[in-house]
Each structure stands twice: as C-alpha cells, then as structure tokens.
A = this chain, B = another copy of it.
Amino acid sequence: MLMVSKERLEEKIAAFSHFGDNGRGGITRLSLSQPALEARRELIERCRKMGMDVKTDDLGNIYALRKGTEELPALIMGSHLDSVVDGGNYDGVLGVLTGLEVIETLHSSQTSTRHPAGVMVWTNEEGARFDPAMMCSGIVTGKFDKESMMNSADKNGIRFGDALAASGFVGSESNRLNPKDYAGYLELHIEQGPVLEIEGKEIGVVEGVVGMVNYEFTVLGVSDHAGTTPQKTRKDALYGASKLILRLWEELEQIDEALVFTMGRMNVLPNVHTVIPNEVKFTLDARHKDPEIIQKVVDVIEELPDHVASCEIRYDKLWGRDTVLFDEQFVKAIQGAANELNYSSRKIYSGAGHDAQYVAGYLPSGMIFVPSAQGHSHCSEEFTPIELVEKGTNVMLKTLLELDRQ
C-alpha cells in the first residue's frame, strides 16, 4: 500500500519552522510579513521541483497542481502558512505540508491520478494582522466583499491591499478556486483542542464546524474617586461585570456539556487604580453544533436583568454563524481511509473556524484532524507527535486516491 514518508514530513516541519522562528519553540508569521513571504517562496520552489504548475489568484492564494491523466477538475489539499503572534509550527502550515507530502509520495512513486491533484495556500487565514480571519477564502466563496477587505489595515495603518500588491504574489482573478476547475478540497488540521488526545484517538473525521454566537456586553457604572466614595453609594462597573460573568457561567454551564463559551476580551475604563470603573466591556463567544443549544444561550442573554450591582447592562450581538456540514461523500471517504489503515478515529466537530468551512458551501470539501498535545494551539507549545502527523497524512493520501477513483 502506498504510504507517506515520516522522515520527509519531519524535514518539512523543521524547514518551515525557521520562517518567523520566535526563538521560543514557536513562530510569528503574520500574513504577508517577510517570514510569511519566505515560507510561500519555499513552498513554490518545492512544488516546481516536482514539475507542478503554480499559479496565484488576485488575492495571492497559491494553487500548485500536478497533472492528472484525464481531463477532469482538480482535487486540491491545503490550508494556510500565516500564524498569530507567537503561534506554533502546526496550525495551518501542517495542512499545506501534509498536502505537499501527499503529492511528493505520488511523485516519487510515479503514481498517477485521474484528476489533477495539488496543494494550495490561503492568504490571511488567521486575521491576526488584517481582520477578519479566513479573509481570502471568504472573498473567493462570496462571504466577503473584496473592496472592503482590501482596506483592512494592520496596526501600523498598512492596508491589506497595499501589502498584497507589494508581496509579488498577485495573479489573475480567473485563477481563483472555482467549482468548474476543482472537484474537491481537503484540509488536514490540528484539532486545537484536547478531545482526540484525551480519548486516545489518532484521527478526527470532521463532520462540520459548529455554529456560534458572539456578543459584547457593556456594564455602565459611575467613576468616582477610590478614596472618597463610600462603598454603599458606588456604582462600580467592574464589580457589576464580575457578577454578570459569574451569572452567565452558572446559567450557561447548565445548558449542555458540549457547549463551550468564553469571555475572552475585557476592557475597563478608565482603568486607573484610584478610580472606580465606569465602563466595562467584555465579549462572550458560545459554540455548539446544535442550533437549539445556541438558541438557549441567546435566551439566557435576553432574560438577563437590566441592572447588576446598580450598573446598567447592555449587550450587542457582534456576529454569529450557523453550523457548517462537510460533504457526506468526503466524510465517508476519510472515515473509510482511517478504518482501512487501522487507525483509531472518531467523528468530531470543529469548534474553530477554518478556510474549509467557507469552501464547504462552494465545493465538496472535507477535513481531517490530528491530535493537539494538551489541546494547545495559537501558542509556541503547539505540538503533534510526528507519528500522528504521518497517520493523518496517510489518511489524506488514501482519501485523495479514493476520491480520485469516484
């Protein structure tokens, strides 16, 4: 049976870890930064060495294809090469490098496929430099408007459009991923959570990406001097926000075991140690695959009292997304590959967003998860043992060959 090479995978991960190396085991490789451009050039060089045809589209997305034996649309594997600040060597890059390894395995064994097969790179998946995340898969699949995305600026005021133009990676819009020229999209990714590791599973067969809602709460108090305002007359917005957070935890915890929710961002005003806070804003992110559970979260929020600790509560829904399901044939092919290879696996939903979720409504798509050690992601400690990377890549190879037969 055709199998990928663990040694080659190890070499690829090590080689790409130099681009943006933060010296602490991780990388900072923001979209279109110098290290990100170097990583792209290295990928293209490796693809061209195998005689692949490399193109970019008007968003700098890279498509590298190996010829097929028939006039069929292509099967393409991919993910992204950009990272968050102090990210790791697995999130995103692994989907590109394992795709490359699948092609290299076909190439070195002179195995032909009916469909052209290839590897691709999405520009600006993380959104860590240019908001929002999954920007360019969103544009290609019609979720975002290109012109407004071009104006997204980084913290130094550099527009995405200008950074893209300067990158040297702009190609033709006609090269974009599209349902006529492409038959399917596969993305291997780290789980970014602890479930596979805790359950001792080697492969996650991803059924979909869970739906979510995102709210911003504002608690409004009154700023007064910390030394002169009697405790009983205060309207302390941070005290109110602390009470509100605990109330939300208590109520949301009871809804469903699989519901995840996070208050990740909080800003306090005026944020001076001698002044009673008059305004606290914090976000709530809640995710579950079942829309009815998400509705229960919304119900909890809508039934909140107007005030907490004499402070007014306001909230805004920032955004939400419905659960996205991957193509049934693709899910079946991935599951079948894992079974045939005798790898332990489980069906799983992705809690995080991925380019594949946008592609899913556009082309038949599927995702393969490999375990994240201790569930870590978006940090230097991100890690997946090479044996599990190898197994995930074998699943992707086998899935690709199965889809190629269909």
In the bound complex, residues from chain B placing their C-beta under 8 Å from that of A210 are 227
Chain A, residues 165-197, CB within 8 Å of chain B (1/0): the string is 000000000000000000000000001111100
Question: 1/0 per position for A202-237, CB-CB distance to B under 8 A?
Answer: 000000001010100000000111111111110010
Residues of B within 8 A of A378 (CB): 223, 225, 275
Which residues on B sit within 8 Å (CB–CB) of A268? 265-266
CB pair A260–B227 under 8 Å, yes or no, is yes
Among A68-76, A152-160, A243-251, the stretch in contact with B: A243-251
Say if the beta carbon of A164 comes within 8 Å of chain B. Answer: no
Q: How many residues of A contact B (CB 8 A)?
A: 63
Contacts of A253 in B (CB 8 A): 231
User: Which residues of chain B are within 8 angstroms of A257 by Cβ–Cβ distance?
Assistant: 230-232
Q: Is A1 close to B, CB under 8 A?
A: no
Chain B residues in 8 Å Cβ range of A243: 242, 246
Q: Which of A16-31 contact B (CB under 8 A)?
A: none
Interface members, chain A 372-390 (any B CB < 8 Å): 375-379
CB neighbours (8 Å) of A276 from chain B are 262, 264
Kindly list chain B residues whose C-beta atoms are within 8 Å of the C-beta of A377: 224-225, 228
For residue A49, CB closer than 8 A to chain B, the reply is no
Return the chain B residue nearest A280 by Cβ: B266
Chain B CB within 8 A of A263 CB: yes
A195 nearest CB neighbor, chain B only: B230
A2 interface contact, C-beta 8 A: no
Contact present for B249 and A239 (CB under 8 Å): yes
**Nearest CB on B from A191, distance (A):** 6
Is residue A14 within 8 Å, beta carbon to beta carbon, of the partner chain?
no
* B224 and A260 form a contact (CB under 8 A): no
Asked if A327 CB lies within 8 Å of chain B CBs, one says: no
Tell yes or no: A392 within 8 A of B by CB: no
Structural contact, B274 and A262, CB atoms closer than 8 A: yes
- Cβ A375 vs Cβ B265 within 8 A: no
Provided the pairs A225-B352, A239-B245, A243-B246 are in contact, do residues A193 and B230 lie with their beta carbons within 8 angstroms? Answer: yes
Given the complex, which residues of B lie within 8 Å of A236, measured CB to CB? 262-263
Q: How distant is the Cα of A231 from the Cα of B288 in the complex, in angstroms?
A: 12
B277→A273 contact, CB < 8 A: no
* CB proximity of A22 to chain B, nearest CB, Å: 15
Residues from chain B with Cβ under 8 Å of A379 in the complex: 223
A interface residues, Cβ below 8 angstroms from B: 191-195, 198, 210, 212, 214, 223-233, 236, 238-239, 241-243, 245-246, 249, 253, 257-268, 271-277, 282-283, 285, 287, 318, 350-353, 375-379
A-B pairs with beta carbons under 8 Å apart, 23 shown: A192-B225, A194-B229, A194-B230, A214-B273, A225-B352, A225-B377, A226-B264, A228-B260, A228-B377, A230-B257, A230-B260, A231-B257, A231-B260, A233-B375, A236-B262, A238-B264, A239-B263, A243-B246, A262-B276, A264-B277, A265-B268, A265-B272, A273-B285
Closest 4 CB pairs of A and B: A193-B228, A227-B351, A226-B262, A228-B351
Given pairs A229-B375, A266-B266, 13 additional interface contacts (CB within 8 A): A192-B225, A224-B377, A225-B375, A226-B260, A226-B262, A227-B285, A227-B353, A228-B377, A229-B351, A231-B261, A242-B245, A263-B277, A265-B273
